[in-house]
Structure 1
Amino acid sequence: MNFKNIVLLMALVSPPTLAQVDLVRVDKSEGRMELVGQGEVVRSYAVAFGANPQGHKQQEGDEKTPEGRYILDYAKEDSSFYRAMHISYPNEQDRQSAAERGVSPGGLIMVHGQRNGLGWLAPLTQWFNWTDGCIALTNDEMDEFMALVPVGTPIDIRW
């Protein structure tokens, strides 16, 4: 048995595993998302945001991505975009702030892939902030994200 066969056999017997992701960190100013497990970054992605990324989401239609700590509270496979995981925006503080201003806080903020049927455009679209307030990955990255990030994981979004 040669060295290559031994390496292949070892991979079959004990495939590499990644630490369970227990936090998703997003830096809007850098356009980056990090998946963190036990304090270590296990994956990092370039991401796209709402078309108006700086600042916290204030109301429906402002094209801002919320800032703060939320929970990735459910997965959605029947989205207009390639796979999605919902961010728990708006929280009580967001709803109260919007109510004080007499506006809707908006909602349905997700981490998602590319618009269905347009995944091939990701090398271009990911250079721009094109969502209505969501966080976009390529479709391949979205598959990896969904495999690594369990529902219930906190997401920390900052500028």
Structure 2
Amino acid sequence: MKGLARIFSALVMIAFLGLGAAWFYFAPAPLPPNLPPIIGTADRIIVEKSARRMVLMQNDKVLREYRIALGFSPQGDKERQGDGRTPEGVFAIDRRNDRSAYHLSLGLDYPQPEDRARAKAAGYDPGGDIMIHGQPNALADDVVLRGDWTAGCIAVSNAEMREIWAATDARTVVEVRP
């Protein structure tokens, strides 16, 4: 009988820990503070990977800062497809997709010619489809995945992505720093 009680206790503990982990990873996003709307268009986006921060800039002034998620293996520059890294360097937004698998997406012009040349010389694919995007469409609008979970993209909450989408256009410069 004691053995059954221990097994039951262990199962209850596992279920409790599982629910806690699920809440941590799929909890609704905290409500953003009431910030004034962004007026005009951002001319530069700065991504600081180590700080998990993205900043929208306009004429060298900060418009807004966001907490971000990166690729599942964020240390270092992207080298090849599937490495889970977010590329570092200066890019530009070269496409906008309002029907992506994630809530809106802004594509970066990665890989650059030097990335393609390096990958070709080494005999591998440099990867591509690096985006700034919201959360997976399968999730509720107010849910934000925690941690670094993308394949190399830069992710924000859906509400933040709507704001970024409205404040950028094609050719906005994106600088990704280590």
The count of aligned residue pairs is 142
Q: Is 2:72 the partner of 1:41?
A: no
1:57 alignment counterpart: 78
2:165 alignment counterpart: 146
Given that 1:25 and 1:33 are in contact with CA atoms closer than 8 Å, whether structure 2 keeps it comes out as yes
Matches within 5 A, 1:3-152: 18-118=39-139, 119-122=141-144, 125=145, 127-152=146-171
What amino acid maps onto 2:102 in structure 1? F
3-state DSSP of counterpart to 1:143: helix
3-state DSSP of counterpart to 2:160: helix
Shift of 1:54: 1.1
Given that 1:19 and 1:38 are in contact with CA atoms closer than 8 Å, whether structure 2 keeps it comes out as no
Distance 1:72 1:155 in 2: 7
Distance 2:148 2:88 in 1: 16
Query: 4+ runs of 1 displaced by more than 6 Å?
Result: none
User: Given the two structures, how large is their TM-score scaled by the length of structure 2?
Assistant: 0.77
Distance 1:120 1:103 in 2: 38
User: Given the two structures, how large is their TM-score scaled by the length of structure 1?
Assistant: 0.86
Distance 2:74 2:38 in 1: 34
Distance 2:109 2:38 in 1: 28
Given that 1:19 and 1:42 are in contact with CA atoms closer than 8 Å, whether structure 2 keeps it comes out as no
The structure with the larger Rg is 2
User: Which one is further off, 145-154 or 24-33?
Assistant: 145-154
Distance 1:16 1:117, change over 3 A: closer
Distance 1:84 1:16, change over 3 A: closer
Shift of 1:78: 1.3
Given that 1:58 and 1:98 are in contact with CA atoms closer than 8 Å, whether structure 2 keeps it comes out as yes
Gapped runs of 5+ residues in structure 2? 1-35
Alignment deviations for residues 88-110 of structure 1 (CA, whole Å, 9 cap, x no partner)? 00000100111111000010110
